[in-house]
Structure 1
């Protein structure tokens, strides 16, 4: 699987707990225990004028940061007991006495309370992660390898490191009229954008399977966006003017040397192959939800050649709008052309999305201004399809397919 960007928040907690385990057993207790031994040892091996036993209040504080509630409570009790034993072992004139005892006791109680709050917060964040993961799988469902006779790979990078899903969407839908591909980007961010993306994907999955004409699929998508906007407006929400750019691709079964393309205000896909890199003709269609402004229906379906071995590269504007420190946009087409000329195997879907992902992140120093999706698809070789076909997308043996990457 493709490496993912480091995330903050709940995954920091998960990573910390994973690092504090050896062979499946927690070693979080080692640090506070060693600190307790060190403080006691130093206290016993210094003069009476240099007593540091009261520093033992740090032990439950350290435990609160890395141990569980019960572990912290054990160290709080152990710190009090150790303090009493160590202090009583000194002559009366060198004992620190009741004030430091109160300090150690109160410090232990506060550490236990702080640990309880920390653990409760981590559990809440883990629950939120599970909810976000379920949402992600609903909107961006995992795709089997070679789904619909296509080799595919994809990577999704949210601009918000706390989020797991945004307004970008993509899917592959095989059916009796060929395999259809959709990629798009809903205007705006937040749950409203996710809701609109889910609505469009639901319509695409049904229409792309049942409708023989790709133009009808395009019309259904436009209608669905308008209905969704009407629904949100009726609810009094402020996102009633939301729209989405999208690219709808059809792989017709009657012409394996071409693809059908409908562009709804989306950047035209790039084609990468042995002959180099070229861009498909730009479309003149408006984004989904704004088609009524044109007044002449959905944008036209254009059939363009796609030779065997050529890969379609579809991206959202998180790639093309990535800026470096000087404000320069990432030159995707030129950069990819140089890479293909130097190494033709870059055109393989897996290598292609990995290359674009890495180069985009390098160009903007990891600071993405928008959600970013990189999606690459190409037809499988005819002999490979014959070997694997026992129904649509039957070859799912490679469960590491990047179509499941986000």
Structure 2
């Protein structure tokens, strides 16, 4: 594998063996530093392959023999034990190197598959949707993959662009599979259905064949028409964040939430979408709960409303990148849940 390693790790075995050699020469015969030469192949296993570790082990053996001549130890029991210990450590280090390389190859394969799956499931959103500029950010909580249970999509239809941002209950492969069902159904329903409630019912039917028990998917569906308005249908999801052209910041709370997808069948009917003004210079941030539930070391939630000023950057991609960097800095380490954000900004005429 072509996995890059820090240069100091690759040079560390030689530095260690050189220092041991200098100390042994300066200390003189009988000081007993030769067994420490086994540190060379031991450190080599941290960054090199099995073959490189083996060559460094042979170098340590050769160096040990030269120093044994200087220390008048050739043929002694002490020297034989030292050579045996270096050979044993070299063999163990070569095995560790081989296992590490195999693990790195497996991790590389997992990440490659995850990247392919991400391109299939979470396709890049169009940067321009008529008069609207879109940007997206996704952070997966999985250490070995780049996708999870959060989802987003933008579909351009004859009636305007339709958008979904959602969050599947649960984690792991089951959540990814459910996200794939929602996205596949949305891409068809966005074209076929007359309104957002129709899209939601279509997603509900698709999920009824997938989910079991009381599993569900929270989501916000949005529709961008030709006028300066946006329609929002909130299915149990965190409310979108609106930042107006005159810097007013507010959450777009609907009068009534629709039930989460997967539980709509339990409700009598679906509330009508909320239609709100979305004029030139206005921005709407759709996000998942991994954003607002991200905690710092003091267990404080991420203050999205307080950080909304970061979205004032000139370019939407730059604005969203600043918000994502601020979120990661707030957490101070790996996030506990997937976090997706989709920013819509209506261009100023």
Q: Is the alpha carbon distance of 1:248 and 1:74 closer, same or farther for their aligned partners in structure 2, counting shifts above 3 Å?
A: same
Aligned position for 1:378? 345
| Aligned equivalents of 1:65, 1:324: Cα separation in 2 | 32
Of residues 53, 65, 68, the one that matches 1:84 is 65
Of residues 109, 129, 148, the one that matches 2:111 is 129
Of residues 215, 220, 224, the one that matches 1:242 is 215
Of residues 271, 280, 285, the one that matches 1:313 is 285
2:241 counterpart of 1:274: no
> Which residues of structure 1 form unaligned runs of 5+?
1-9, 21-26, 234-239, 383-406
Aligned position for 1:170? 152
Secondary structure at the residue paired with 2:243? strand
Aligned position for 2:190? 208
> Which residues of structure 2 form unaligned runs of 5+?
none
Deviation at 1:179, TM superposition (A): 0.8
Deviation at 1:303, TM superposition (A): 2.2
Deviation at 1:194, TM superposition (A): 1.0
| Aligned equivalents of 1:241, 1:371: Cα separation in 2 | 21
Write out aligned runs for 1:129-168 (5 A): 129-147=111-129, 150-168=132-150
Deviations 1:269-289 (A, max 9, x none): 121122212332323210001
Aligned position for 1:288? 261
Of residues 135, 152, 167, the one that matches 1:185 is 167
The aligned length equals 346
Give the TM-score of the pair, scaled to structure 2.
0.88
| Aligned equivalents of 1:93, 1:167: Cα separation in 2 | 65
| Aligned equivalents of 1:118, 1:48: Cα separation in 2 | 38
2:232 counterpart of 1:261: yes
| Aligned equivalents of 2:333, 2:92: Cα separation in 1 | 39
| Aligned equivalents of 1:269, 1:347: Cα separation in 2 | 21
Q: Is the alpha carbon distance of 1:326 and 1:71 closer, same or farther for their aligned partners in structure 2, counting shifts above 3 Å?
A: closer
Secondary structure at the residue paired with 2:138? strand
Q: Is the alpha carbon distance of 1:69 and 1:48 closer, same or farther for their aligned partners in structure 2, counting shifts above 3 Å?
A: same
Secondary structure at the residue paired with 1:37? helix
2:134 counterpart of 1:119: no
Contact 2:41 2:56 in 1 (8 A): yes
Give the TM-score of the pair, scaled to structure 1.
0.76
Contact 2:279 2:346 in 1 (8 A): no
| Aligned equivalents of 2:265, 2:54: Cα separation in 1 | 66
| Aligned equivalents of 2:335, 2:284: Cα separation in 1 | 23
2:68 counterpart of 1:97: no
Q: Is the alpha carbon distance of 1:309 and 1:29 closer, same or farther for their aligned partners in structure 2, counting shifts above 3 Å?
A: closer
Contact 1:166 1:194 in 2 (8 A): yes
RMSD of equivalent CA atoms: 2.8
Deviation at 1:104, TM superposition (A): 1.5
Secondary structure at the residue paired with 2:166? strand
Aligned position for 1:34? 15
| Aligned equivalents of 1:335, 1:106: Cα separation in 2 | 57
Deviation at 1:261, TM superposition (A): 1.3
